[in-house]
Structure 1
Amino acid sequence: MRRSTAMIACMAGTAVGLVALTAGPAAASEPHSLYSPSAVVLTVGQGESAATAAVERAVTLTCKPTAGGTHPDAKAACADLERAHGQPALTLNDDSGRVCPRIYAPVTVTADGVWEGRRVSYEQTFANNCVAHSRVSHLFDF
Structure 2
Amino acid sequence: MRTTARRAATLGLTAVAVCGSLTGAAVAVPSAPAPSLYAPSALVLTTGHGNDAATATPERAVTLNCAPTASGTHPDPARACAELRGVGGDFSALKTRDDVWCTKLYNPVVVTVQGVWQGQRVSYERTFGNSCVKDALDSAVFAF
Corresponding residue of 2:120: 118
Aligned-residue offset at 1:98: 1.1
Instruction: Verify: 1:41 aligned to 2:50, yes or no.
Output: no
- Matched residue type, 1:126: F
Corresponding residue of 2:8: none
User: Counterpart of 1:94 in 2: which secondary structure?
Assistant: coil
Larger radius of gyration: 2
Residue by residue over 1:26-70, the C-alpha shift from the partner in whole angstroms, topping out at 9 and shown as x without a partner, is 86xx86321111011001110000111111111000000000010
Change (3 A) 1:129 1:34: same
Aligned-residue offset at 1:6: 6.3
**1:96–1:135 CA contact under 8 A, matched in 2:** no
Corresponding residue of 1:99: 101
**1:40–1:113 CA contact under 8 A, matched in 2:** yes
Where do residues 34-113 of structure 1 align in structure 2 (5 Å cutoff)?
34-91=37-94, 93-113=95-115
User: Counterpart of 2:136 in 1: which secondary structure?
Assistant: helix
User: Counterpart of 1:79 in 2: which secondary structure?
Assistant: helix
Q: CA RMSD in A?
A: 2.8
TM-score norm. by structure 1 comes to 0.79
The unaligned stretches of length 5 or more in structure 1 are none
- Matched residue type, 1:130: C
Change (3 A) 1:103 1:81: same
Aligned-residue offset at 1:96: 3.2
**2:97–2:138 CA contact under 8 A, matched in 1:** no
Aligned-residue offset at 1:12: 4.8
Aligned-residue offset at 1:102: 1.3
Corresponding residue of 2:134: 132
In structure 2, what is the Cα distance between the partners aligned to 1:122 and 1:105? 20
**1:81–1:88 CA contact under 8 A, matched in 2:** yes
Aligned-residue offset at 1:9: 3.9
